[in-house]
Amino acid sequence: MHATASPRVDSMLGTLSASIAKGRLPLWIYNDAEVFRLEMERIFARNWVFVAHESEIPRNGDYVSRPIGQDPFIIVRGEDGKIRALFDSCRHRGARICPSDQGNAQTFFCPYHGWSYTTAGALEAVPAKTTAYQHLNLADWGLLQAPRVEIYRGLVFAALTEDVPALTDYLGDYRWYLDTHLALTEGGLEVVGTPHRWHIDADWKSGAENFSGDSYHTQTLHQSIMRIGLAPKAAAGASGGVNDIHVTECSGHATSIRRTDPGTSHFWGYPKDVAALFRQGELSAAQFELAQRSVVHTGTVFPNLSLIHIGGTDSADKPNSAYFSLRQWQPRAPGQLEAWSWVLVPKDASAEFKARSYKVAVANFSPSGNFEQDDSVTWSGVARSAQSVFARNSDMHLNYQMGLPEMSTARLMKDWPGPGAVYDTNLEEGVQRTFFNHWCRAMRAGARI
Amino acid sequence: MANAKSDIKRLGRAQAEDFLFAEAEILDDWRLMEWLDIITADIDYRIPVRATREAPDEARAFSAAAFHMIEDRASLVARMKRLTGGGAFSESPHSRARRHVSNVRVGAASDGGVEVRSNLLFFWSREDLQRLVSAERRDTLRIEGGRVLLARRTVLLDHVALPLPNLSIVL
């Protein structure tokens, strides 16, 4: 089952770790057919991959169709209330059994010959069984399913191999940061509506590495947002503020955080009635203080789940609101991704706030987002040059050197209360090097990281 | 508004087409601030997210809660200011776009305006990318001060995943 790599890719993977340590990344890995195929096998089939938020499938029988890498799965809550990831392929001829993106089902029925399955994936009925399949043992022919499905504070992940650590261990220390978003309210979060989906001519890694914490690009690429007043400068202006930090090498995940001054309370800019729902609860005092002072977080959970938590508005004439979005960079082909974006709101917040938060999120981070529109243009440029023969022949490497010891004033924070290697500035690229270090380990292991 | 009301009832297909074709020209020609002159102060502009659903849920294929765009006048003004004011890299240089508007159908009139449905085939191109977006537009046109204006638009996409790297333009 282990896919072999050509000498060309093997050699790149063999030297990549040392190369990343020097802040050098070969351009071609952003658009390469063999790298892409290996990513499907070594990364997406061997790591925990986000598939849904629990609030999308609240009732028994509720399902959503979701890819894991490029493989089609039905994420369904069975009659027993348990969530499973069923492979969307009939055991008889392999036809698709769930043509819908979402819904509620009692059974999944194959339109080809009529085999039908329970929401737990068991083969339930076969037409003409008593005459045509007298000795068919239905129990042997249930749908394939992802061997592991686990949930962390509402986030549903699936793994296509048994051989992964528990999800809590995979998220590891990064839970300390995730919890500042997910555990702030008693009732938790819920997804608003249906996720956005759109096609970008860029590699999935461009989204993943950018959201790891590319704090350096906002002042240039997103300058128009500040010009028309859709985001506060504190959230999207020049990086390098005294309260800006980068969390690197946090169980393989990373996050970038901008904060207000010590002793202040901002909570990403949530209005007072929503901030009143936030309580320390299961968080430590340090986590709660971080949430309190937060202006913006971006982050990536390896491999392709990212988050943004930020404030802004859809018009300078209207008040700011905060919004929280999960986004996933689904690999479609080398240099081609399908972006998915969910907006989440505190379940206990008012309907009025939820509508406002969603509207502000759409105005900034969505296919039409005034922020996000600009990202896709630059990322597609990366995929375009990454397939260049000349770039390969010239051994073109990209510069990921910001924050290396000899390069900037970034310093590890010795007194930071949270986990990870945390830098006292966001003018450093250890967050992106974290993503590629993890990518390299996953690609080299040929198995789990 | 008493006169406007009687005008509304007289809006015929030719008038509706004149409006939609002129609007398409304004948008295709990137005269974005001019477009703000032909929409009402209370415009409601939305593009709901579509999902593939099976019967009996097919009627709910268009989300009532999720939108690619959900706009009022202020947010549309902000978008146009961003796109025309420099530094909006998604449209620098501008994408090339052509709106093909057809199958115009004039429906019921009310105090709010006249319902007009049309089909939109939207051709989009940037650098070497070329894409088509297909949709039905459900508009409400209203006559104010003798001018036809767009008061409401819901764009019903024929796509579940938008085949565009971004939606920086209005459909």
Q: What is A268-306 written as a DSSP string?
A: GG--HHHHTT---TTS-HHHHHHHHTEEEEEEEETTTEE
In a domain, A24, yes or no: no
User: Is residue B167 a part of any domain in this protein?
Assistant: no
Q: Is residue B1 predicted with pLDDT exceeding 70?
A: no
The pLDDT of residue A89 is above 70: yes
Q: What is the pLDDT of residues A228-279, one digit of tens each?
A: 888 877 777 788 889 999 999 999 999 999 999 999 999 999 999 999 999 9
Pairing assessment for the beta strands B147-157 and B39-50 based on DSSP bridges = parallel
More confident residue, B11 or A86: A86
CB atoms within 10 A of CB A389: 8
The β-bridge relationship of strands A253-259 and A24-26 is: unpaired
With a CB cutoff of 8 Å and minimum separation 6, the contacts of A22 are A401, A404
Residue A239 and residue A128 share a domain: no
Give A338's contacts in chain B (Cβ within 8 Å). 161
Burial of A116 (0-12, 13-18, 19+ CB in 10 A): middle
Give domain status of residue B162, yes or no. no
Inside any domain, residue B96: yes
Identity of the amino acid at A10: D
What ipTM goes with this model?
0.94
Contact B150, B128 (CB under 8 A): no
Coil vs helix vs strand at B77: helix
Model pLDDT, residue A1 = 47
Query: With 50 as the cut, is the pLDDT of residue A179 above it?
Result: yes
Cross-chain Cβ contact A196/B168 below 8 Å: no
The pLDDT, as a whole number, for residue A113 is 97
| Phi, psi (rounded to 5 degrees) for A358 | -65, -45
Match 């686990």 to its residue by tokens.
Answer: A150
**A20 — pLDDT class (breaks 50, 70, 90):** very high
Q: What is the pLDDT of residue B131?
A: 97
Residue A36 lies in a domain: no
- Read off the pLDDT of each residue in A205-215 and give the average, rounded to a whole number: 95
A395 and A253 in a single domain? The answer is yes
* CA-wise closest residue to B167 among A207, A372, A359: A372
Predicted confidence band of residue B8 (pLDDT cuts 50, 70, 90): low
**Yes or no, beta carbons of B68 and A367 under 8 Å apart:** yes
pLDDT given for residue A240 in this prediction: 85
Q: Rounded to an integer, what distance in angstroms lies between the CA atom of residue A305 and that of residue A170? A: 13
The answer to whether position B163 is within a domain reads no
What value does the mean pLDDT take over residues A407-436? 96
Give me the residue from B57, B79, B162 closest to A197, CB to CB: B162
Distance from CA of B83 to the nearest CA of A (A): 8
Q: Is A363 on the interface with B (CB under 8 A)?
A: yes
Question: Does residue B130 lie in a domain region?
Answer: yes
Does the beta-carbon distance from A197 to B161 stay under 8 Å?
yes
A338 in contact with B, Cβ within 8 Å: yes
- What's the mean pLDDT when you consider all of chain A? 95
Q: Give the distance from residue A335's alpha carbon to the nearest chain B alpha carbon, in angstroms.
A: 13
Q: What is the pLDDT of residues A392-402, one digit of tens each?
A: 999 999 999 99
Q: Is residue B37 part of a domain?
A: yes
A445 touches chain B (CB under 8 A): no
For residue A375, the enclosing domain spans 172-445
> Does a structural domain hold residue A33?
no
- What is the structure's pLDDT at A228? 86
A114 and A196 belong to one structural domain: no
**What is the reported pTM?**
0.96
Structural domain including B42 reads 2-157
The mean pLDDT value for B48-66 works out to 91
pLDDT class for A445, splitting at 50, 70, 90? confident
Task: Flag if A198 and B162 touch (Cβ within 8 Å).
Answer: yes
Note the residue count of chain B.
Answer: 171
Are the C-beta atoms of B135 and B122 separated by less than 8 Å?
Answer: yes
Q: How far apart are CA A109 and CA B134, in angstroms?
A: 31
pLDDT digits 0-9 by tens, A352-377: 999 999 999 999 999 999 999 988 88
Residue A30 lies in a domain: no
* Same domain assignment for residues A111 and A216: no
Question: Is B83 in a helix, a strand, or coil?
Answer: helix
Token code pair at residue A306? 């990212």
**Residue A221 forms part of a structural domain:** yes
Residue A430 inside a domain? The answer is yes
Extract the tokens encoding B113: 């305006």
> Measured between CA atoms, how close is A120 to chain B, in angstroms?
20
Q: What is the percent of chain B where pLDDT is above 70? A: 95
pLDDT of B4 > 50? The answer is no
Rg of chain A over Cα atoms, rounded to whole angstroms, equals 23
The band of B2, judged by pLDDT with boundaries at 50, 70 and 90, is: very low
Bridge partners, residue B99, by sequence: B122
- Answer yes or no: is pLDDT of B7 > 90: no
Residue found by looking up tokens 């793994």 in the block: A159
Residue A148 shares a structural domain with residue A62: yes
State the pLDDT at residue A446.
Answer: 56
Structure tokens at A22: 């020097």
Q: What CATH number is associated with residue A60? A: 2.102.10.10
Q: Confirm whether A27 is domain-assigned.
A: no
A162 domain residue, yes or no: no
Across the interface, do B79 and A370 touch by the CB < 8 Å criterion? yes
Claim to verify: residue A190 and residue A286 sit in the same structural domain: yes
Residues A129-149: b if buried by 16+ CB within 10 A, e if exposed:
eeeeeeeeeeeebbbebbebb
The answer to which of A37-51, A66-80, A245-259, B82-96 has the lowest mean pLDDT is B82-96
Q: Does A377 touch chain B (CB under 8 A)?
A: yes
Distance CA A305, CA A428 (A): 21
The total domain count for chain B is 1
Q: Specify the pLDDT at position B9.
A: 61
With 0-12 CB in 10 A as exposed, 13-18 as middle and 19+ as buried, what is A118? Answer: buried
pLDDT given at position B58 = 82
Measured N-to-C along each axis, helices A204-211 and A372-386 cross at an angle, to the nearest 10 degrees, of: 130
CATH of the domain at B70: 3.10.450.50
Of A100, A119, A152, the one marking the end of a domain is A152
Q: How many CB atoms lie within 10 A of CB A410?
A: 22
Position A2 confidence tier, pLDDT thresholds 50, 70, 90: low
Output the CA–CA distances (angstroms, integers) from residue A190 to A234, A324, A348, B50, in the order listed: 27, 11, 9, 19
State whether A330 and A383 are in the same domain. yes
Mean pLDDT throughout A291-297? 97
What pLDDT, on a 0 to 100 scale, did the predictor assign at position B111? 87
Q: How many domains does chain A have?
A: 2
pLDDT in tens, B67-126: 999 999 999 999 999 999 888 888 889 999 999 999 999 999 998 999 999 999 999 999
A207 in reach of chain B (CB within 8 A): no
Which of A102, A223, A318 comes nearest B74 by C-beta? A318
Could you say which of A93, A122, A152 is where a domain stops? A152
Residues A382 and A235 in one domain: yes
Same domain, A145 and A188: no
pLDDT, tens digit, 9 for 90 and up, residues A92-106: 999 999 999 999 999
The whole-angstrom separation of Cα A143 and Cα A133 is 18
Kindly list the residues from chain B whose CB atom is less than 8 angstroms away from the CB atom of residue A227: 82, 85-87
pLDDT at A232: 79
Q: Is residue B19 part of a domain?
A: yes
Counting residues of chain A whose pLDDT is more than 70, the rounded percentage is: 98
Q: pLDDT tens-digit profile of A152-164?
A: 999 999 999 999 9
Residue B14, number of CB atoms within 10 A of its CB: 10
Q: Please report, as a single letter, which amino acid is at residue A235.
A: A
B6 pLDDT above the threshold of 80: no
Cα A209 from chain centroid (whole Å): 11
Query: Does the pLDDT at position B170 exceed 80?
Result: yes
Q: Does B74 map to a domain?
A: yes
Could you check whether the bond before residue A7 is cis, i.e. omega within 30 degrees of 0? no
Per-residue pLDDT of B103-119, as tens digits, reads: 999 999 998 999 999 99
One domain, residues A293 and A439: yes
Helix (H, G, I), strand (E, B) or coil at A392: helix
Residue A362 at interface with chain B, using a CB cutoff of 8 Å: yes
Q: Are residues A311 and A426 in the same domain?
A: yes
- Map residue B135 onto helix, strand or coil: strand
Task: Give the pLDDT confidence score for residue B59 in this predicted structure.
Answer: 81
Query: With bands split at pLDDT 50, 70 and 90, how would you rate the model's confidence at A447?
Result: very low
- Chains A, B: CB contacts within 8 A come to 138
